[in-house]
């Protein structure tokens, strides 16, 4: 039997919310909540958008994207982004959350 829809929504939100909790303590980041996501910004503007649906959108420059995307796990990339420079990333586990936290550091550096 499949889990109820509320349990699926809770699982999808778990890892993005853990990432949000960690990033909210980083001194170089500010955040704001919208109805559908939490947006983290550094001096150079927004660097991360976290949705409650298990997807994060990370902002990286073209050259960084060209180097990193071939190294990322194929399951991590959900689809092509509707906006240039934003990489949609699926967060399904603790390893995904830890890798995303590392890449947020890169995003802060390249977007400063």
CATH number at residue 56: 3.90.1150.30
The count of structural domains within the chain is 1
| Structure-model confidence comparison of residues 54 and 78, the more confident one | 54
Torsional class of 41: left (φ above 0), alpha (ψ -120 to 50), beta (otherwise): beta
Count of Cβ atoms closer than 10 Å to residue 96 Cβ: 20
What is the side-by-side strand order in the sheet with 86-90? Answer: 30-33, 37-42, 45-51, 55-59, 86-90
Q: Which of 46, 77, 47, 56 is nearest to 14 (CA)?
A: 56
Q: What is the pLDDT of residues 19-55, one digit of tens each?
A: 999 999 999 899 999 988 899 999 879 999 998 778 8
Q: Residue 82: which pLDDT band, with cuts at 50, 70 and 90?
A: low
The confidence score (pLDDT) of residue 55 equals 84
The confidence score (pLDDT) of residue 92 equals 83
Question: Which residues partner with 49 through β-bridges?
Answer: 39, 57
The confidence score (pLDDT) of residue 101 equals 93
DSSP 3: P
What residues make up the domain containing 29? 5-110
pTM over 0.85: no
């Amino acid at each position: 039997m499949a889990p109820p829809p509320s349990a699926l929504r809770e699982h999808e939100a778990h890892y993005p919310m853990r990432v949000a909790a960690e990033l909210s303590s980083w001194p170089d980041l500010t955040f704001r909540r919208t109805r559908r996501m939490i947006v983290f910004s550094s001096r150079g503007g927004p660097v991360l958008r976290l949705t409650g649906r298990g997807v994060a959108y990370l902002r990286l420059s073209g050259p960084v994207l060209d180097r990193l995307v071939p190294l990322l796990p194929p399951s991590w990339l959900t689809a092509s982004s509707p906006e240039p420079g934003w990489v949609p990333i699926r967060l399904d586990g603790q390893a995904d959350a830890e890798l995303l936290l590392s890449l947020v550091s890169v995003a802060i550096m390249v977007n400063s």
